[in-house]
Chains A and B, each alone.
Chain A
Amino acid sequence: GAVVSQHPSWVICKSGTSVKIECRSLDFQATTMFWYRQFPKQSLMLMATSNEGSKATYEQGVEKDKFLINHASLTLSTLTVTSAHPEDSSFYICSAYGTPSNTQYFGPGTRLTVL
């Protein structure tokens, strides 16, 4: 199957700093990417949908000024958590959709801990 990578896999930062997470589709062109967060033993929560070259569409309740999403190329999307606080600590996962797969492949996830 198609491969999606995320970097970093794990990050610890101080409260008030910004953190950037990268999501890359390694062997296909991702026209659409999705960002999720997941708390322990809970379901995936969709944060936003991004189409290449367009502004992201955020889910209700997700602060777009806090979670900046950029999808500037067909193989890369980034999520920047600005002015991170301890409550932003979570597991962030991206998924990518692109032809010819017609389905979504997930990255391995990034664990963010804000001290």
Chain B
Amino acid sequence: QKEVEQDPGPLSVPEGAIVSLNCTYSNSAFQYFMWYRQYSRKGPELLMYTYSSGNKEDGRFTAQVDKSSKYISLFIRDSQPSDSATYLCAIGPGNTPLVFGKGTRLSVIA
């Protein structure tokens, strides 16, 4: 079983839709959970960073962590064409190599 499982997509949604991206992980010792967005030919950009369980909201983005289910989610509200990118979940702590999901390719169609 891989440490982090993420559906690679591709996922295509119309502009304005709510997008749900998910990852599951196997190691219950993980405490730090991150979502990165990567545009083509660019480095990953940190979107959300959560410690332990719970929700965190930043503008149109909401990250959820359910440690009991080993399940993390990223929700994007009112999706825009500029949100089209690959989204990577990652699990830490950050001072050690992160464990990444394979990334989900998202296309938001205008």
Q: Which A residues contact B (CB, under 8 angstroms)? A: 1, 4, 6, 31-32, 34, 43-44, 46, 49, 91, 93, 95, 97, 101-109, 111
Instruction: Give the secondary structure class of A's interface.
Output: strand
26 CB contacts below 8 A, A to B, read: A1-B46, A4-B43, A6-B43, A31-B95, A34-B97, A43-B100, A43-B102, A43-B103, A93-B44, A95-B44, A97-B95, A102-B32, A102-B51, A102-B93, A102-B94, A103-B32, A103-B92, A103-B94, A104-B46, A104-B92, A104-B94, A104-B98, A106-B36, A106-B44, A106-B45, A109-B43
Q: Is the CB of B97 within 8 A of A103?
A: no
Specify which of B43, B49, B93, B96 is in contact with A93 (CB 8 Å cutoff): B43
- Per-residue CB contact flags for chain B residues 9-43 toward chain A (1 = under 8 Å, else 0) read 00000000000000000000000101010000111
The complex places the Cα of A31 from the Cα of B95 at a distance, in Å, of 8
Complex CA gap A8/B94 in Å reads 25
Number of residues of chain B lying within 8 A (CB) of chain A: 23
Q: A102-B32, A106-B36 are in contact. Are A97 and B94 (CB under 8 A)?
A: yes
When distances are taken between beta carbons in the complex, the residues of chain B under 8 Å from A93 are 43-44
Tell me how far the C-beta of A68 lies from the nearest C-beta in chain B, rounded to whole angstroms. 19
7 A-B pairs closest in CB distance: A106-B43, A103-B94, A109-B43, A106-B44, A97-B94, A108-B43, A93-B43
